A = this chain, B = another copy of it.
Amino acid sequence: MDSAWITWARITASTLTVLLKIPTGTGWRVRLCTGMCRAAWRHVGSRMQQLKKIDKVLPEIMICGRSLDIFLDDIERFHGFTSPGLVLGGFMVDWAQELIGLDVEADAVVETCHCLPDAVQIFTPCTIGNGWLKVLDWDKFALTLYDKRKLNGYRIWLDLKKTLLFPKIYNWYMRRVPKKNLSLEALLEEILSARRSVLSCRAVQVTRMYGRKKKGNIEVCSTCGEAYSTSQGDQCITCQGEGYYSI
C-alpha cells in the first residue's frame, strides 16, 4: 500500500473501525479495518502518517447526497449496525433517486423485509408509518421508487449475473458460505468497491399495491373495549384467540 487515508473512523471502548481509501492507479478501493483497539492500531499503525494525506485526484464518493462517512453513520445510527444489505441498499436508493429525479414526489416498494426497508426509510422521505413505503415479504433484493401521481418509476435489483465478478457478494447473498466464515469487513469492502456494478435497473409502471392503505371502519370491540377495524369480524383478532401475548 503506497498511500491511503482514513476517510471515516469510529472508536468505542474496545474497538476501532477505520475506513481506508487506497488509490489503485485507475481509481481507488476502500478497505474497512476493525479490531480490538490494539490490534486495529497495529493493523494501520505504521501507515498513520501517510493516512493523513489528502489526495485531491481521487473522486469523493457521494451516496444519497451524503459523503461516505455520513452515509455509514446514518446507517449505523438508525439500523444499529453496518449491515451489508443496507449499504448495498443505499446504492440502490441512490440510483433510483438519480433516475426518477429529486423533484418528483416518489413512493417506494421494497420486495423483502430484511435490511432493505431501512435503506428507503433512512435515505428517502418514505417510511412504514407514513404509508409511502410498502414492504412485500418476498425475499427479493429489489426496490422501486415511483412517481406517486403518474405511477411510473424505476425498479433496481441485485443482479446475480453481475455478482459473479464479486464472489463475496454472491456467496453472502446466496448463502454459499457459512456466516461464521464470512468476513464482514471483506464483504463491506467488496460492496463499497462494486457499488452499482452488481445492480440492474428497469423503468416500470406500477399497476397494483400503490397508494396509502386506508384504515378500516373503526368500532369498539365488545370483549376488550379497544378500538379495532370491523373487517376482522365482531371481535378484534386478539379476542378471537389470535393474539401474540398472554396476561
Residues of chain A touching chain B, judged by Cβ–Cβ distance below 8 Å, are: 78-81, 83, 86, 109, 113-119, 121, 125, 127-132, 135-142, 144, 155, 157-161, 173-175, 202-210, 213, 215-216, 218, 220, 225-229, 231-232, 236-238, 243-247
Contact = CB atoms under 8 A, between A and B. Distances in A.
Given A161-B225, A225-B160, A236 B129 contact: no
Given A78-B127, A140-B236, A247-B204, A113 B213 contact: yes
Nearest to A213: B113
Contact of A115 (B129, B155, B207, B231): B129
A121 B113 contact: no
B80 A130 contact: yes
B129 A117 contact: yes
Given A114-B215, A226-B157, A127 B245 contact: no
A138 B226 contact: no
Contacts of A132: 80
A236 B111 CA distance: 11
A22 to B, nearest CB: 30
Contacts of A220: 160
A27 B205 CA distance: 55
B129 A229 contact: no
A225 B229 CA distance: 40
A44 to B, nearest CB: 29
18 contacts: A81-B130, A83-B129, A109-B244, A114-B129, A117-B129, A121-B121, A121-B127, A121-B129, A138-B228, A139-B218, A139-B227, A140-B226, A159-B226, A160-B225, A173-B218, A174-B218, A204-B245, A210-B244
